[in-house]
Amino acid sequence: MKKILTILFCFSVSLLAQSNSELIDIGEGGVGYISKNGLYLCGSNYPSPPFLWSETTGRNDIGNVEGEAYGVSNNGIVVGRFRDSSLTIGGEPVLRAGYWANNQWTGFEGIQGVPPLDPQSFTHAYGINSNGTKAVGMVWHSNWRVEACYWSIPDAGIGLLGQVGAFNSRANVISNDGSIIAGWDGESGGPDRRAFYWDPAPHFMGGLDPTYLVGECNGMNSDGNVIVGSSVWPFVWTSAEGMQHVVADSSDYWSGSALAISDNGTIVGYVDPGGFNYQAFIKKPGWSDILYIDDFIRDSLGITSLSNYYFAFASAISADGNRIGISAYPPGSNFSHAVLLTLDTTVPVELSSFTAILSDQTIQLNWTTITEKNNSGFEVQRRIENKDWGVLDFVAGRGTTTEQTSYSYEDDIKSSGNFSYRLKQIDFDGSFEYSGIVEIDVNLILDYTLNQNYPNPFNPSTFISFSIPQSSNVNLSVFNILGEKVATLINEIKDAGSHEVEFNATNLTSGFYIYSLEAGSYKSTKKMLLVK
């Protein structure tokens, strides 16, 4: 019988080109959002002015006032907060929600008749739809409670979404057409934040811990029918399946949050594996678990420049999943930097699965492609423990095809240890790409062994164990001192490994007995003593 041991990855993934993927450090500040079309990224370095980045213009400050940028539309309209000199308290400008367009800030309305409570507490804008016509956020009441709201653009008029728990609420994200809004609603005497969406009626989304229904929505796909966020741990929500864990074993992490999701289902966010050591993660459709961003870009893309960054948060992703915004601290810096990861979009080979299977002393690698374009073939690479990668062989590809193709390679192994494998897909022009990595732990049985029974002497039962290095027909029998067979314990094919069987001598008399193991050409006998 074949046994699949430790498989780190077995997922549907497009191979990504090492040469064309890029990591751009945009400078000090945190990432607010990436537009759905991937053309714009906004962020903040408060109290400095917020910034807007695009490929054509690079990074530019938004206005000359301190503020925050949290959302950006496909046409470059930014929403956030800015110091509005036309609205002051005690001579100090108020930090208010607004939108940036045509090189100027326009302030959003607050609740009619409720002025700013202080220079920091008036209105907050966190999200904007793709065409830049509707923004969402929260507004302060006179009792120091906040309520989820939305604003129309360009007139900046406000609409309120209510407070289901009669406490606080906030809107964070909005669908492309503006019909779905998500965020949180608090409950007096209960969780101060619970995951909610509005359409515009409020809908409670539940929680991952049924005893403590805390939660907050942070991202959604373009249609608004898939929402991600945090309920202590990262979650993904659909109306059909409700709230589900993003992380396979959330008990491995103190906390975390899914912050954004692309239209093809790629989720990004962060987790805390312990000690407030925040790590940015990515999870693509079909993956069984998350992968740290720095591992993903190093092993799959060949990019190492993020490896020494710390306290990383993957907070934004484009609709096609090809651009990811990361906030992280570079080595030696006390300030977070906004980092943009651009993935190669010229994908010549789409890999749907890659697995490693141990059978006897052979590891069989299996992989399947859905499509291939100019594929010369695959270089099979192996790493044992923490040693360097080495090349095992080359498996020819099919060039260009839209038919599903399956490949395999067998690696005969002679030692125990942790084995890692990856594929280097090579085009006819010499360009190449790496797959994800599969790992398998191997503990080989290298020799035949028949062990002494235990306990010995025994009455009336004892255990006999043995090991075989390869699958064999095994006969384990017991004989009396005259050489007469009194029992056959095993007579069948056994897999390689260690085995144990119980021998019950209730119907036998006291004295010495001999047990004999035959497996292939191997034969061994040992004595045991029955004392009644």
pTM, rounded to two decimals: 0.65
Residues 356 and 502 in one domain: no
Residue 165 sits in a domain whose CATH number is 2.120.10.30
Residues 105 and 236 in one domain: yes
Determine the Cα–Cα distance for residues 498 and 451; give it in Å rounded to an integer. 11
pLDDT at 345: 57
Q: Is 287 part of a structural domain of the chain? A: yes
The amino acid occupying position 493 is I
Q: Is 41 part of a structural domain of the chain? A: yes
| 209-225 residue pLDDT tens | 988 999 999 999 999 99
Closest CA to 61 of 121, 109, 75, 47: 47
Q: Is 16 part of a structural domain of the chain? A: no
List all residues 6 or more positions away from 95 whose beta carbon is below 8 Å from its beta carbon.
66, 67, 81, 82, 83, 84, 119, 120, 122
**Pairing assessment for the beta strands 40-44 and 30-34 based on DSSP bridges:** antiparallel
Residues 312 and 236 in one domain: yes
pLDDT at 519: 92
Residues 200 and 238 in one domain: yes
Residues 387 and 495 in one domain: no
H/E element, 298: helix 293-299
Determine the Cα–Cα distance for residues 479 and 482; give it in Å rounded to an integer. 8
Residue 520 sits in a domain whose CATH number is 2.60.40.2550
Q: Is 3 part of a structural domain of the chain? A: no
Q: Is 1 part of a structural domain of the chain? A: no
Task: Tell me how far CA of residue 55 lies from CA of 39, 52, 171, 233, 342, in angstroms.
Answer: 7, 11, 29, 34, 11
Residues 265 and 410 in one domain: no
Q: Is 47 part of a structural domain of the chain? A: yes
Cβ atoms 294, 307 nearer than 8 A: yes
Q: Is 233 part of a structural domain of the chain? A: yes
pLDDT at 141: 97
Given 342, 366, 384, which residue is the final one in a domain? Answer: 342
Residues 365 and 235 in one domain: no
3-state helix, strand, coil in the chain (%, to 5): 0, 55, 40
Residues 41 and 150 in one domain: yes
Cβ atoms 237, 243 nearer than 8 A: yes
List all residues 6 or more positions away from 51 whose beta carbon is below 8 Å from its beta carbon.
26, 27, 29, 42, 43, 44, 45, 59, 60, 61, 62, 69, 338
Residues 278 and 377 in one domain: no
Closest CA to 205 of 175, 179, 225: 225
b/e 306-331 (16+ beta carbons within 10 angstroms → b):
beebeebbbbbbbbebbbbbbbbbbe
Closest CA to 390 of 427, 441, 424, 414: 424
List all residues 6 or more positions away from 134 whose beta carbon is below 8 Å from its beta carbon.
128, 150, 151, 152, 153, 174, 178
Residue 403 sits in a domain whose CATH number is 2.60.40.10
Q: Is 94 part of a structural domain of the chain? A: yes
The two three-digit tokens of residue 16, written as one number: 């990504």
The residue ranges of the chain whose pLDDT is under 70 are: 1-20, 344-348, 444-446
The number of domains in the chain is 3
3-state DSSP assignment of residue 36: coil
Residues 463 and 418 in one domain: no
Given 342, 372, 393, which residue is the final one in a domain? Answer: 342
Residues 298 and 391 in one domain: no
Identify the domain containing residue 45 by its residue range: 21-342
Determine the Cα–Cα distance for residues 247 and 283; give it in Å rounded to an integer. 9
pLDDT at 20: 66
- Residue 85's CB is within 10 A of a number of other CB atoms, namely 10
Strand partners, 238: 242
Residues 205 and 337 in one domain: yes
Given 342, 369, 399, which residue is the final one in a domain? Answer: 342
Determine the Cα–Cα distance for residues 146 and 192; give it in Å rounded to an integer. 12
